[in-house]
Amino acid sequence: MATPVLDDLKKHFHRAWWGLLLRGLLALVVGILVLVRPLESVAAFALVIAFWSIFSGVVDVVNGIEVKPMKHWWVIVLSGVVSVAFGIAALYYYPALSLAFAVLWVAWWLMVTGVLGIYAAVMQRSLGVQWGWTMAFGVLSVIAGGFALVAPPVTLAALMGVIAAFSIVGGIALVVGAFKIRSLVHH
């Protein structure tokens, strides 16, 4: 005997499973395009960074103005103005500025997480906990961050590979999930 809640879920998923399917297929297409057309993908990635910065900055400016009665509201507006300025500069100096930003972001992320990993390993060692793998991954992350700064083209290639892999794996998961939901609704 079906419950009203189960009936509502079935009705909702009956209408929505195709949305998951479309998102999955789009993710698969994006992942495959990144692998097949790497140079165009890097150029598109640079545009996404620039446009996202402008969009995010405009949203921050509007949000800062809306919370004007709040103390230090101007910090939000200033953050938005900086984002918009970066986005405009990234379009003007396309694609160099956006791609340099992506490489630096990845490099700093690797180095900071590596240093934090090394610190965590030292703390684990002082507590008498297994620390070897944490230290190894921390050191490896710091080395990878340094390499990312020294070899920007390799960093961009790796970044695009990660984007492609996540897109393909996520797309497959969404497509499989959509068909599983569809089969559950029909049973």
State the pLDDT confidence band at 88, using cuts at 50, 70 and 90. Answer: very high
| DSSP code for 151 | -
Per-residue pLDDT, averaged over 121-150, amounts to 96
State the pLDDT confidence band at 27, using cuts at 50, 70 and 90. Answer: very high
Per-residue pLDDT, averaged over 146-164, amounts to 94
**Hey, where are the domains in the chain?**
18-186
Type of residue at 47? L
Specify the residue for token string 């999955």: 24
Question: Are the CB atoms for 71 and 62 separated by under 8 Å?
Answer: no
Please give the angle made by the CA atoms of 101, 106 and 107, to the nearest 5 degrees.
Answer: 95
For the stretch 39-77, pLDDT in tens is 899 999 999 999 999 999 999 999 989 888 888 899 999
Burial readout 152-175 (b: 16 or more C-beta within 10 A, e: otherwise): beebbeebbeebbeebbebbeebb
